[in-house]
Amino acid sequence: MHPSIAAIMTHFTYEHLPEHLQDVSKPIAELAHSMATSPNLSGPELTAGLRKLLEAKDCLVRAAIT
């Protein structure tokens, strides 16, 4: 795994969250892992896609807090 992909993947952890937030975060983390390890995806667009997925995850977790 490219170092930039490995670095962004560290932000998709969810085990530290309360259970109701894990319910939101876990499916997104699973999708991110699937995309990051796909043999059909690579390069800067993969990194950009994962960054956008991370941004979406952050928004959805915040939505579950309010």
**For 6-56, what is each residue's pLDDT tens digit?**
999 999 999 999 999 999 999 999 999 999 999 999 999 999 999 999 999
- Considering its fold, how many domains does the chain have in total? 1
Domain span at residue 39? 3-65
| Predicted structure pTM score | 0.89
Give every CB contact of residue 35 below 8 A, 6+ residues apart in sequence. 41, 46, 49, 50, 53
